[in-house]
Structure 1
Amino acid sequence: MFILSHAVEINPPGASIALTVGQVWAGLVLKAEDALPFVPAMRRCDLLERGAGCLRRAISFGDQDFEEQVTFYAPRLVRFDRVGSDDFILNIISDSAVGLLLSFTFAISFPGVADGSEEEHARGEAMREAYVGAVAATLAKVRELASHGEI
């Protein structure tokens, strides 16, 4: 399983608006419900069912289709588990010496590829840009929504 984590400052110097934990949390919930405005590379995000503190959705990312179980641990953590696999994604809002951080961790396996192999590493690294870009795109959308008073 390939694991990648990436964190960015939520309110870096020069940010047009300082976001609160509550605003970022609201954005993460909206992203879980409909990721299309937050993740440009995603082609489809359909809400299948909603439960207490969770939801299930169907997504299309690139040329692949998945179902995900999304669990909310308010107000700081959202966990996306791909149905039928051990793959998962975490979105975490945390405090740090530089202020609030938004961290994304993804753990993904590649069928037919040996764990720890060069091929696994190469495939994981090829996905890095999309996942790192999703962090920036998510914060940009949250900032836009906050600037319009929508969250």
Structure 2
Amino acid sequence: MLFVTHVVPVNEPGQPRLDREAVWEGLVMKANNALPFVPAMSECEVVERHGDSSFDRAIRIQGDPYRERITLEAPHRVVFTRLSGPILGTIANEIEGDGDDMQLRFSFALVIAGTPGNSQGEEDYAKNMTGMYIAALEGTLDAMRRIAVDNAA
């Protein structure tokens, strides 16, 4: 099983300032349609809703299809639970802190089908996946900042 966590500051010098509400709204937008936020994703469609705070979506990442259950834990965390696909597990996007100290944490605990735990194959995949998810995290913040600039205009 792969365990990775990465944190990035939300309000970096020279970037549009985001408040907690804007970051939360961005995470909800990403959960509903990740295409503007996640460069490696080519398809994203909500396929079933389970009330106000949970839904399933069908996605495609690097050609592989997945189904995920999204749980919105307002106003601080979005959890993505992989229900089907070649990589199963849980991904979380969390808002930590506030104001200038606010951070966005990305964590995942995943199992790769057909790859033994603690193997070189798992380690190699983890390195590639970590880079891909860090790019998604940075893409998420970039999209949130673009939205903030557009809303301010």
Pair in the same fold by TM > 0.5: yes
- Describe the SS at the equivalent of 1:127: helix
Task: Determine the structure 1 residue equivalent to 2:123.
Answer: 121
Q: Which amino acid aligns with 2:59?
A: I
CA distance in 1, matches of 2:121, 2:136: 23
Matched, 1:99 2:101: yes
Task: Give the drift of 1:42.
Answer: 0.4
Q: Which amino acid aligns with 2:108?
A: F
Q: Which runs of 5+ in 2 are unaligned?
A: none
Task: Determine the structure 2 residue equivalent to 1:87.
Answer: 89
CA distance in 1, matches of 2:91, 2:55: 14
Matched, 1:43 2:45: no
- Describe the SS at the equivalent of 1:22: helix
Task: Give the drift of 1:118.
Answer: 2.2
TM-score, normalised with respect to structure 2: 0.91
1:106-129 Cα shifts (integer Å, max 9, x gaps): 121111222122221111111111
CA distance in 2, matches of 1:23, 1:88: 24
Task: Determine the structure 2 residue equivalent to 1:64.
Answer: 64
1:9-29 Cα shifts (integer Å, max 9, x gaps): 0001221x1101100000000
Task: Determine the structure 1 residue equivalent to 2:144.
Answer: 142
Stretch moving more, 48-57 or 20-29: 48-57
- Describe the SS at the equivalent of 1:109: strand
- Describe the SS at the equivalent of 1:105: strand
1:70-121 Cα shifts (integer Å, max 9, x gaps): 0000000000000147511000000179600001111211112221222211
Q: Which runs of 5+ in 1 are unaligned?
A: none
CA RMSD of aligned residues (A): 1.7
- Describe the SS at the equivalent of 2:45: strand
TM-score, normalised with respect to structure 1: 0.92
- Describe the SS at the equivalent of 1:136: helix
Change beyond 3 A, Cα 1:21–1:132? same
CA distance in 1, matches of 2:20, 2:144: 11
Q: How many corresponding residue pairs?
A: 149
- Describe the SS at the equivalent of 2:143: helix
